[in-house]
């Protein structure tokens, strides 16, 4: 049924694109360049004015290559105006009375204005939220949301994005991929959250939220993409920003950061560096109830952990503009993390309502890790006619994870039941990814736009596990538990998109094909993973503009999600004598079909209806083993998961001194799958609202408050409890260069997580409290030359591989 729908939708859209080309209206396109260097200028505002009344007919903004494209114009006389701070305003007369339907090419050349070469303060500001045909853009560079926060904190405040534990979700659908400047981070789960917690939000200029990626994006990114664009100064010469943040909750946190840019002529070099030192704690009461046996046993555990996390993050690059068409460059994204946690666990084992025994666990866990991404690229810009980009990437990730345990066993009177035991495990992980990506865009006749691309990646993942027990004064390796998991994966992909604009419609259709070749093996076993599969993923987008106030968008996308690399590892990692975690080498990819219809009012307000069907969804769960009285954390496929969603994004100006951006999401989630000895079939309605409020108190003082509330939800077999928090901040600007921000996160100390499972004979759960209520002070100072000049931003290559590290 769904396969027939895919074919019908693709054929229908292709037929429309072929037969409706004659309906194209007039179009102006061209490039904005600088007079002295002939280099392209980005972000110039272009306006079409009707003559003789000078009414505004259309607006546009030049892209990173200086190109602009204005459609749907009628025959007549116009004035084409281009404006950018630092340049003289340009007005060009334009007579479209006698032209045919072919696009009209118009070059716009701006001259520097010497009166504006001194330092300027830009008073205008982009709206916090912008809507594009395929994404939502959050402009945060001048928002106090960034001051004193980590990038992980910032994501949690973004419209439609939720950070739960170590996962990122968009509008309630988990598994979103995180990119940095268009480049995959190759991390997911705890490794991704650790990296983003170690990255200062001051480094971010924009967050792009792409709920329904087109065929240009990897099919594995179809659950959703969050693209974090970092700050890249647009001024000539040497300039930058230095900042320092200090926070105090139960423990202290601090972070110095430096953003530095050097631009002269055709050369641009930049580096963003931050160091974060975060002391945190976690209190986690949990339970496991073995109620469905002759003599019920109940495990009541009280866990307390203290963590120190120190990280260095560096994002840098070098761009060289050979001429107006050709650019080459190099980028590096590196992070080194030193994290150590000390755990104290007391497990009270009860039988018939009485404490039978007590297990005390002390453990020290080490998470030293490092990630390095290297990229070289070449960009060819053909003005408004098209572009070509080639990216070569290499990524390396390593983690020397280790843990020391001390187990003590007591009776209810705290008398030793059996000798204490000391254990140690080492679980190092190494991962290497190489890739090459080619993307081509071309403007065709009759207002068609063609996108083509191809990509190949090669990945190697090696994981080891060594257990040792303290015997006398030496640790002896337990050879029976030695294990090793090796996994290789090659992905080859190609895609095309074809876009057509006619009258009030814009239609974009495309297809992506991907081949995956994967092999995995465990020590002393034959290959347990050996797969070679080929998949096709069509997508369709349509936009109908009724008038300047009313617009409808439709999308149909297909995608899939490969398992995180570490999810495939069957190596067992023990947490305490009665709990351990394993991966699943037989996990299958999950496949998603999504339909969405959206209405946009005045290019500000968005309302949408969406249906997601997810087959073989990958979820984390647990399984109680009654015979061993142990709890196993596992990864499994769920046959079917459905989302039925209606959501609203509403920017509201309450008064002159109060603006609010509200995300209001309502959805019904359904899971259906055979599991253990039954069928898991559950449906639950969920509602959440996220409101970011801004209060411009004066020209130099601004306050912000974010409030979030979500009703109980589902995550696989887990029911996730209600979540609620309020954050607030106030910013004082002392000059054009110096500012201070005072903020408080989780004011009412309500931001906590509760997870419970009650299915057949499976009864367990936990609640997590952290050092979430923190007062922070951020000081920032801008230095160097601030003469404005256009700087390009390069979006780079590999897709979702690094995001799958865990």
What does the pLDDT read at residue 17?
43
Q: Report the pLDDT averaged over residues 660-675.
A: 93
- Per-residue buried b or exposed e for 553-573, using 16+ beta carbons within 10 Å of the residue's own CB: bebbbbbbbbbbbbbbbbbbb
Flag whether pLDDT at 792 surpasses 50. Answer: no
Angle at 456 between CA 453 and CA 458, to 5 degrees: 165
Which stretch of DSSP H or E encloses residue 196? helix 189-197
Predicted confidence at residue 440, as pLDDT, reads 95
378-398 tens-digit pLDDT: 999 887 788 999 999 999 999
Q: How confident is the model at residue 1 (pLDDT cuts 50, 70, 90)?
A: very low
Closest CA to 795 of 35, 39, 28, 42: 42
Q: Output the pTM of the full model.
A: 0.75
Over 60: is that where the pLDDT of 585 sits?
yes
Domain annotation for the chain: domains and CATH numbers: 2-114 (2.60.40.10), 237-804 (2.40.170.20)
pLDDT at residue 114 in the model: 60
CB-facing half-sphere around the CA of 10: CA atoms within 13 A: 18
Q: Which DSSP symbol is given to 660?
A: E
Instruction: Tell whether the model's pLDDT for residue 603 goes beyond 60.
Output: yes
pLDDT of residue 689: 92
Could you write out the DSSP letters of every residue in 762-791?
Answer: EEEEEEEEES--EEEEEEEEEEE---B---
Q: Are 497 and 510 in contact (CB under 8 A)?
A: yes
Q: What is the pLDDT of residues 402-455, one digit of tens each?
A: 999 999 999 999 999 989 999 999 999 999 999 999 999 998 888 889 999 999
DSSP 295: S
Q: Report the percent of the chain where pLDDT is more than 70.
A: 86
pLDDT single digits (tens) 78-129? 889 898 867 888 988 888 877 777 788 889 999 876 654 444 443 445 666 7
Residue 270 pLDDT > 50, yes or no?
Answer: yes
Q: Give the mean pLDDT of the chain.
A: 84
> Is residue 691 left, alpha or beta, with left meaning phi > 0 and alpha meaning psi from -120 to 50?
beta
Terminal C-alpha separation, the chain: 35
Does residue 212 or residue 669 have the better pLDDT?
669
Three-state helix/strand/coil letters over 700-764: CEEEEEEEEEECCEEECCEEECCEEEEEEEEEEECCCCEEEEEEEECCCCCCCEEEEEEECCEEE
Does residue 74 contact residue 25 with C-beta atoms inside 8 Å? yes
> Which is higher by pLDDT, 792 or 757?
757
Supply 673's token pair: 């799958």
In the predicted structure, residue 221 carries a pLDDT above the cut 70:
no
Q: How far apart are CA 741 and CA 515, in angstroms?
A: 49
pLDDT(614) > 60 = yes
Q: Does position 273 have pLDDT exceeding 80, yes or no? A: yes
Bridge partners for 758 per DSSP: 763
The per-residue pLDDT for range 51-63, each reduced to its tens digit, is 877 777 788 888 7
């Amino acid at each position: 049924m769904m396969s027939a729908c895919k074919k019908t939708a693709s054929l229908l859209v292709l037929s429309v694109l072929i037969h409706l080309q004659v309906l194209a209206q007039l179009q102006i396109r061209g490039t904005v360049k600088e007079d002295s260097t002939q280099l392209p200028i980005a972000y110039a505002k272009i306006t079409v004015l009707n003559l003789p009344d000078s009414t505004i007919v259309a607006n546009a903004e030049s892209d990173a290559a200086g190109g602009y494209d204005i459609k749907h114009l009628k025959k007549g006389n116009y004035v084409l105006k281009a404006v950018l701070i630092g340049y003289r305003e340009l007005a060009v007369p334009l007579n479209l009375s006698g032209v045919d339907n072919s696009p009209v090419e118009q070059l716009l050349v701006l001259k520097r204005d010497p009166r504006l070469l001194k330092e300027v303060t830009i008073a205008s500001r982009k709206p916090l939220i912008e809507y594009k045909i395929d994404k939502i853009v959050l402009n945060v560079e001048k928002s106090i949301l960034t001051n004193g926060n980590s990038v992980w904190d910032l994501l949690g405040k973004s419209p439609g994005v939720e950070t739960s534990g170590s996962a990122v979700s968009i509008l309630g659908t988990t598994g979103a991929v995180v990119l940095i400047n268009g480049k995959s981070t190759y991390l997911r789960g705890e490794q991704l959250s650790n990296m983003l917690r170690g990255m200062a939000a001051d480094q971010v200029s924009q967050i792009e939220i792409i709920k329904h990626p087109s065929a240009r994006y990897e099919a594995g990114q179809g659950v959703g993409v969050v693209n974090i664009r970092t700050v890249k100064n647009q001024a000539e010469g040497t300039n930058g920003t230095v900042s320092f943040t200090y926070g105090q909750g139960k423990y202290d946190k601090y972070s110095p950061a430096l953003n530095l840019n050097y631009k002269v002529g055709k050369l641009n070099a930049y580096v963003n560096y931050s160091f974060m030192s975060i002391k945190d704690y976690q209190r986690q009461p949990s339970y496991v109830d073995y109620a469905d046996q002759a003599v019920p046993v109940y495990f009541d555990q009280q866990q307390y952990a203290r963590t120190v996390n120190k990280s260095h993050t560096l994002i840098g690059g070098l761009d060289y503009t050979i001429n107006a068409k050709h650019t080459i460059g190099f980028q590096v994204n590196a992070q080194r993390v030193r994290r150590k946690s000390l755990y104290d666990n007391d497990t009270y084992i009860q039988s018939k309502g009485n404490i039978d025994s007590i297990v005390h666990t002390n453990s020290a866990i080490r998470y030293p890790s490092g990630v390095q991404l290297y990229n070289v690229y070449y960009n060819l810009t053909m003005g408004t006619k098209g572009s070509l980009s080639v990216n070569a990437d290499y990524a390396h990730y390593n983690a020397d994870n280790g843990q020391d345990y001390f187990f003590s066993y007591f009776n209810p009177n705290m008398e030793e039941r059996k000798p204490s035991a000391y254990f140690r495990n080492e679980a190092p992980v190494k991962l290497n990814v190489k890739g090459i990506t080619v993307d081509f865009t071309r403007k065709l006749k009759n207002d068609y736009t063609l996108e083509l691309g191809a990509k190949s990646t090669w990945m190697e993942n090696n994981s080891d596990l060594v257990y040792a027990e303290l015997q006398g004064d030496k640790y002896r390796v337990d050879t029976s538990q030695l294990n090793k998991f090796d996994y290789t994966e090659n992905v080859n992909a190609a895609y095309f998109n074809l876009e057509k604009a006619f009258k009030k419609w814009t239609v974009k259709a495309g297809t992506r094909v991907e081949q995956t070749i994967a092999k995995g093996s465990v020590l002393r076993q034959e290959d347990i993973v050996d797969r070679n599969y080929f998949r096709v993923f069509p997508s369709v987008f349509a936009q109908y503009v009724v008038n300047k106030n009313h617009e409808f968008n439709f999308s149909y996308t297909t995608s899939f999600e490969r398992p995180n690399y570490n999810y495939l590892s069957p190596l067992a990692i023990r947490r305490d004598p009665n709990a351990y975690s394993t991966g699943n080498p037989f996990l299958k990819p999950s496949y998603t079909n999504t339909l969405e219809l959206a209405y946009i009012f005045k290019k500000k307000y968005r309302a949408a209806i969406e249906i997601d069907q997810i087959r073989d969804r990958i979820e984390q769960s647990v399984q109680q083993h009654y015979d061993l009285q142990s709890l196993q954390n596992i990864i499994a496929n769920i046959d079917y998961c459905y989302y039925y969603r209606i959501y609203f994004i509403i920017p509201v100006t309450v008064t002159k001194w109060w603006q609010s951006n509200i995300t209001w999401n309502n959805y019904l989630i359904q899971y259906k799958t055979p599991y253990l000895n039954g069928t898991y079939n559950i449906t639950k309605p969920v509602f959440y609202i996220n409101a970011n409020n801004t209060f411009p108190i004066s020209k130099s003082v601004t306050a912000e408050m974010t409030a979030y509330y979500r009703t109980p939800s589902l995550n696989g077999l887990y029911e996730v409890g209600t979540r609620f928090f309020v954050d607030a901040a106030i910013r004082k600007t002392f000059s054009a260069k110096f500012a201070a921000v005072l903020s408080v996160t989780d004011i009412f100390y309500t931001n906590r997580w509760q997870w419970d499972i009650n299915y057949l004979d499976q009864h367990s759960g936990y609640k997590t409290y952290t050092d979430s209520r923190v007062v922070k002070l951020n000081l920032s100072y801008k230095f160097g030359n601030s003469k404005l000049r256009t700087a390009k931003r390069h979006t780079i290559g590999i897709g979702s591989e690094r995001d799958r590290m865990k």
